[in-house]
Amino acid sequence: QVQLVESGGGLVQAGGSLRLSCAASGLTFSRYTMGWFRQAPGKEREFVATINRSGDRTYYADSVKGRFTISRDNFKNTVSLQMNSLKPEDTAVYYCAAGYGDPWYSPSTYANWGQGTQVTVSS
């Protein structure tokens, strides 16, 4: 079955960096759009970034544009999220997701989800 396993979360001070990774198995990885979403306590899951199947198009939420970078390796079946200049408001559980189609910013587009990794940014 499809498995998406996130890693790389943790506790970091404001202004610091983290790199999240997601390892995919049980699917033809290169056929899927990959996305990162996050959910803070008491809030809805929100779009963070997405990358198309070939990796040549990326889209970001306005709140992370210029600070976060999504990338993928279709040989290693991994997708990563480099997070720089982290802010306390970036604190959330971050989820990796695989899906098809549009809209790319909607959780409903993604049929497969990881368990999530906690990112906590202290002020």
The pLDDT value given to residue 93: 98
* pLDDT, tens only, 102-114: 888 999 999 999 9
* pLDDT, tens only, 23-42: 999 999 999 999 999 999 99
Is-contact 94 111, C-beta < 8 A? no
Is-contact 60 68, C-beta < 8 A? yes
Greatest pairwise CA separation for the chain in angstroms:
40
Per-residue pLDDT band for 3 (boundaries 50, 70, 90) equals: very high
The pLDDT value given to residue 100: 87
* pLDDT, tens only, 59-86: 999 999 999 999 999 999 999 999 999 9
Calculate the average pLDDT of the chain. 96
